[in-house]
Amino acid sequence: MTASEGPDSQRQSWLRAIILWRASKPFPRDFGGNAAAFGTALRRARVASEQAGRISVGGFFAKKFFTLESSPDYRRVWVLGQEFAIPLRDSAIVVMVDRVDELEGPPVVVGHEYISGRLPDLYWATGRTSRDSFSVVLANSYRLLESAMSVNPKLRAFLAGQNVSPAVPNRQFPMMVIQNQCIDFQEVKRGKESWEMRDCKVSHFGALGNVGGKSFYYATYCIIPNYPEKGMCGDTSFIARMDEARGLAIFERGAGRNDAQLLFERVNGDIGLYRYTDKPEIIRNRFGTILYLPIAVDGTGNYNESEYYIREAGKWERIDSDAWLVDLSNRIPRGFEVWKGIWPDLHTMQAKAMLYRSGDANCCPTGGVASIKLSIRSKKLVIESMAVDTTSSPVSKA
């Protein structure tokens, strides 16, 4: 897939996506004598894609047709049912598909890599290109494309016919991609079903800081499921405002690298369950370096499902943030309860819990405040001390 802009005399073109289909042995150009079957399969694929709200942009035909689909805006592509984000500029994604002739097993996506989207001028002079569309590469320009891909060791091995075993999905992305595009979420996909999303957009992106010679970044995402109500990310609809922060991702980038590794992806299959409104933080206190992922349960309780990680031996280790809440419930005086989420401040290692009496309204606790000092021991949040003031009436954070 290529794209271009500008008039012919000043046209700039770049590569956006390549799908490599590899068979166990050379496949005849006449579809193995099954041209009629190919035509029928192609028509069926186009109808199925249209029903799914996608565009059939080709595929590979051997014993059957394996469809290559794109979103209408050419920002996403589906290969064997797997979804990939297509870089907008500068970088190109290359998806590798093996065993498409099914002679040695079912076809499989063995991975994807990123290469530069810039190619020699000779390629654009000899290759068949068109704006935002997929096309077959002509033989006289293939060697230029092959040269560009061979810079990547995994692509070079795949092109040479070497074994490239399916691995854990490559979760590395160019910086421009993570700043401007939604990544491929594991639990939520685009589609027409009620539980799938119809729109996604980066709401906020920023740097968290540097730890151990690596830079860390975050992105939050507007994710809108297939509600009957109208609304798209970025508009003024109630839906867009409500779903502005339904996903969170944390990325790590090594020094001198142009891409970033996905560390944490927090997008729940029940899209409306959690909010990721607050900015993540890297916090340094007397206990060490802590990565804080703020996660709120949507609703008036404002329950805290945040995750906390402490840096140990070059890794982020999860902190148990649940056990101290059990201890808190045992320390609260009889007749008082905590109805709302508690949000510790890891800068000061303090927290406040609003106390309710039986008969209180959800909005207005009358039982006072429990002021808590916390410590971290053996990767657990623990209560260091606690003072209860039952004479004050705090205002609830709902």
pLDDT in tens, 86-128: 887 777 889 998 887 777 778 888 888 888 888 777 777 654 4
C-alpha pair distances (Å), 386 with each of 292, 303, 350, 383: 23, 21, 10, 7
- What six digits make up the tokens of 334? 């009889």
Q: How far is CA 162 from the centre of its chain?
A: 30
pLDDT at 32: 52
pLDDT at 99: 84
Q: pTM of the predicted model, to two decimals?
A: 0.64
**Residue 198, Ramachandran bin (φ over 0: left; ψ between -120 and 50: alpha; else beta):** alpha
pLDDT at 111: 84
pLDDT at 398: 42
Interval 249-253 mean pLDDT = 96
Interval 336-344 mean pLDDT = 90
Cross-strand partners of 373: 350, 385
Longest dimension (CA), the chain: 87
- What six digits make up the tokens of 22? 């590899």
pLDDT at 397: 44
pLDDT at 270: 82
Query: How high does pLDDT run on average in the chain?
Result: 84
Residue 152: is its pLDDT beyond 90? no
Which DSSP string corresponds to 334-396?
A: TT-B--S----BTTTTEEEEE-B-TT-BTTB--S-EEEEEEEEETTEEEEEEEEEE-S--PPP
Residue, of 358 and 292, whose pLDDT is higher? 292
The pLDDT tens digits for 183-206 are 988 888 888 887 889 999 999 999
Residue 230: is its pLDDT beyond 60? yes
